[in-house]
Amino acid sequence: VASTMASWLLMAPQEQCPSELHLSNCAIATEGFNELIQALVNNDAFPAPHPRKPDLGKLGIYLRLENNYIDEDAIKASIDDGTVTTFHKTDAPTCSDTVKVRLLVRQDNSLQQRPGPPPNPEDVPAPKPFTAKGKGKGKDNAKSGWNSRGNDSGSSRQKNDDWKSSWNDKGSWKDSQKADSWKDNKKDNSWNKQTSWNNGKDSWKDTKKDSWSDNK
């Protein structure tokens, strides 16, 4: 893979020159690294003008190579001859007409290479899941959130309709209960009136009977 990339870098015109190469954890060996550096050295399109501020001059390609299997002496040799320069994330970009590569290193300036030869492709573990970062990170999430709110809104409307229906059912139950209560009260009152009338009737009979007895 490094050889294929080196072949393309060797022939790339200036308008197609990449400004960054992220090659960490790619199992690149020393031979592949040397081919990449040699391609950049032999192509006069590198270094290309600053990608954002071309008036500032030419800027070496931004390169990351951590966790590969490159002999650190080979990297140091390219630094010593001026082809590669190292920098930290906190450093401002420095333009140069001769530096081909700006190699990112840690604050302790370690090159972070693994010892020994790279593993066989079939022995390499699966890559970690990709997580989007930077600009536009929240756009899809915002749309997703809006759609979710729309769905929730529909659910809320359904819940409200169900609640209203339930409330109406309760009102119907109350009306029914009220009607039954009215019937019962009416029935009870009617019975009480009848009982009271019977009591009055019996009382009238007793009074009349006593009065007849006295007259006799």
pLDDT digits (tens, 9 = 90+) for 10-45: 999 999 999 999 999 999 999 999 999 999 999 999
Residue 154, CA distances (Å) to 92, 147, 149 in order: 52, 11, 9
148 pLDDT band, cuts 50/70/90, is: very low
Highest mean pLDDT out of 107-116, 156-165, 167-176: 107-116
Please write down the HEC assignment for all residues of 57-120. CEECEEEECCCCECCHHHHHHHHHCCCEEEECCCCCCCCCCCCCEEEECCCCCCCCCCCCCCCC
Give the CA angle between residues 2, 104, 68 to the nearest 5°: 40
Name residue, tokens 């009074």: 207
Mean pLDDT on 87-103: 96
Cβ count near 9 (within 10 Å): 22
Query: 207 near 199, Cβ under 8 Å?
Result: no
Neighbouring residues of 36: CB distance < 8 A, sequence distance ≥ 6: 2, 5, 6, 9, 28
Residue 74 has pLDDT above 60, yes or no: yes
195 pLDDT band, cuts 50/70/90, is: very low
For residue 214, give both structure tokens. Answer: 């006295």
CA–CA dist 99, 90 (Å, integer): 19
Mean pLDDT on 202-208: 52
For residue 171, give both structure tokens. Answer: 């009102």
Peptide bond into 51 cis (omega under 30): no
Residue 173 has pLDDT above 70, yes or no: no
- Reduce the DSSP state of residue 48 to 3 states and report it: strand
Residue 142 has pLDDT above 50, yes or no: no
- Reduce the DSSP state of residue 131 to 3 states and report it: coil
Identify which has the larger pLDDT, 152 or 38. 38
Residue among 11, 109, 104, 12 at smallest CA distance from 60: 104
For residue 77, give both structure tokens. Answer: 């040799």
CA–CA dist 166, 161 (Å, integer): 8
Residue among 54, 64, 56 at smallest CA distance from 28: 64
User: Of 15-24, 160-169, 191-200, where does mean pLDDT reach its minimum?
Assistant: 191-200
127 pLDDT band, cuts 50/70/90, is: confident
Highest mean pLDDT out of 41-50, 129-138, 141-150: 41-50
Mean pLDDT on 190-208: 50
Q: Which pLDDT belongs to residue 91?
A: 96
Which H or E run includes 155? helix 139-215
Could you tell me how far CA 14 lies from the centroid of its own chain?
A: 38
